[in-house]
Structure 1
Amino acid sequence: MTDILDQAQKLEELQRKVALENRFQAVQRPSRTHCQDCDEPIPEKRRRMINGCTRCVDCQAVYEQKKRGFRQ
């Protein structure tokens, strides 16, 4: 008979594996060439350094401030 702790450990391992797979898939997306908010070109250097970036530096800063609850 399987112990409940063994079942919990297997579930945790499965959840961790799925979370890691999802994280790696998100990182491997290609970067956008233009900002999704202002449609200005995203510099090539930024696109190379930040895999999957979707915003220019200015729009990303505004997005992060709003996410934290600040208003500009």
Structure 2
Amino acid sequence: MKDFTTIPNDKILFKGNHFFIIEDRFPVLPSHLLIISNDVRTDFFELTEEEKNYLLRMIEKAKEIILAKTST
């Protein structure tokens, strides 16, 4: 996770209250994005309930980003 704390702002596609979205430097599939917590967390289970609920919104935002990139 430490590597994700130093990501330059120009690499961040979207930043929300609890997470940010970046392109994967080593994508498994085209348009693969990463949703990363703004706070260092070991795993999903360390997220608060508020963060877990907010994550669903971030997944929808990632989908919007992917669709915008693939439709142009």
TM-score for both structures, normalised by structure 1: 0.31
Whichever structure has more helix as a proportion of its residues is 1
Whichever structure has more strand as a proportion of its residues is 2
Q: Which has the higher contact order (CA 8 A, sep 6+)?
A: 2
Higher alpha-carbon Rg: 1
